[in-house]
Chains A and B, each alone.
Chain A
Amino acid sequence: MIAIGVLVAVSATLVWRRDGLSGLLDILGHDVSLFAGILPRVLAGCLLGAFIAEILPHEKVSRSLGPSSGLMGLLIGAAFGAILPGGPFTAYPVASALLAVGADFGATISMVVSWTLIGYGRAVAWELPIMGTDFTLWRIAISLPLPVLAGALGRFVYVRMYPAETESANEGE
């Protein structure tokens, strides 16, 4: 937060020395209107995260996203990441909760990667207005297979890196 503040202050000073006060105010006006547009979506994301955390059925999560959940577990993880709205302030706490209630690394990787690549929250708030609709939809279409592939690779590597933990997790079921 402090590092960002310093970076912003230095950049703003550079802009002021290069473009003068009008350059400084142009960017400020643009960014303030962007901020005002984003705020309601941030509120929606926060409320949604809180409701989902409250109503999530924890027993079901460990069954459908655990180490033996197969391709279906990766698909569920990816689908959940894609529909989970909000920003990092909802995705990471929810992902962490999934790990805690029995999801394995593979399904959780699918969820996190899906949230960051396919999730519509960031795409709507920032990517659509800045990159344009064509690029955004094209980028999301190409990204569609990646979350499940990343989860599958994660599960494949995890079993070989930590064989003891995988065995004990399977015995526990």
Chain B
Amino acid sequence: MIKFFKVKSFKDFHDHYLFWVKIFFLSLVIFGLIISLFISPADYLQGDTVRIMYVHVPSSWLALQIFAVMGVCGFITLIFKTRVFTLIAKSIAPIGFTFALISLFTGSIWGQPTWGTFWTWDARLTSMLVLVIFYIVYIILWKIISKHSLAEKLTSITSLIGLANLPIIKFSVDWWHTLHQPATIKLTESSTIHPSMLTPLIIMFLAFLSFSIIIFLIRFKLESLNLKINSNK
């Protein structure tokens, strides 16, 4: 397992399989968009507005999951000083940032017709905004600190602190009164969504996930080459 986490293995994966991941992504996203926009039924209460969910929910999930991966990578970087995890975290940060922005943006255009407001300071929305700020701080730290070893340390600490925000986002809807509704898809109980609407949601999630993998592979190769150039200087 540890052997797999080498710079070379990711680069090899990029060189050999990137094309197939792209094909996989394209077929999923086309298929997913067709079912989510045309085939899946409208909601009994919200009507067609519910289709925003098929973009909003996968992006929110990925924004959280990517930050979780960054936090774990930050932990390993700080304790075990293995460079490859720094590179992983650095390459996926902009992806998670983009998904967090998409989540906020689609959430606000979903909120207007259903709740009657674009934005409100309830716990879920506020904690999600905090996540976006953590992403911004993380990315900016990489940009402004030119010394790699220092940047590595500070960004890892940032991602570890940000990790504390994730359970707050996840459970904000249970801990506080929020305008945002509680989770629909639960790990322990049965989900409160009809299968005909769950299917496009899962497919769109897989599509977004494979998109993240594409961008990650490209960015990882780029970052590892950058590191090599800078350390040879």
Please say whether chains A and B are actual partners in one complex: no
Contacts from A to B (Cβ < 8 Å): none
